Amino acid sequence: MRACIGKLYSRAVTARILHTVVIATTNRGKLEELRALLEGLPIEVRTLAEVGAGPDKLTIVEDGATFEENAIKKARAVAEATMALTIADDSGLEVDVLGGAPGVRSARFAGADATDEENLAKLLREAPAGSALAYVCAIAYVDGGEERLFEGRCTGTLAAEPRGDGGFGYDPAFLPDDLADDRTMAELAPEEKDAISHRGRAAHALLRWLAGERERERGSGRLASAD
């Protein structure tokens, strides 16, 4: 999927190079996945720390009721502070038997400073194996007055116990519906995970929109052909 996204973007947006894109997250796992998904594109990806907008400089309270609200809030705040095109992600896990929890509180399920291991342990205590799950990701794109939201979902079931060393968060106990085998998200190679994950799907939607924007600009005569 990474190669597909890069090829799509490079072909359709070559004449509209995005010199700098700030990824508005301090979560190392999310940052690494988004960097990988954007790899090979004609852009320079910058972190919050690299543009002087880290948590010691810019405080953003994620108090939205939905992933979309939190994502757009983060993207707007960072774009305003840095004057750069910004991509922000908010994502988490929804569990049917828990009424959609932990949802937007996925990173704080076991407490404000909970680790991934503590959050996962609480989930396994409160939800039985085989419970229906959904990973949800909202990616917000803010570039001046242009704002867009993109969503990706990946459904699955809860494993009886954690397995695998890859990924992060709830990945060791997430059995994706997209696979015919019994591997958890944490047992997948990065490329396999990107192809089916909530974040990969949201990123793909973002890149398809950018490609469409470029084609519309070309059709209107506002963008010279790069062919």
Q: In 112-213, which ranges are E strands?
A: 132-143, 146-158, 174-176
CA distances from 83 to 15, 17, 118, 119, 213 (A): 21, 16, 37, 35, 21
* H or E stretch at 220: helix 198-220
By the 8 A CB rule, do 74 and 88 touch? yes
d(CA 120, CA 142): 32
* H or E stretch at 82: helix 67-82
Catalytic positions:
90
CB under 8 Å to 168, separation ≥6 — which residues?
28, 29, 116
d(CA 179, CA 185): 10
Residue 111 is encoded by which pair of tokens?
């407490």
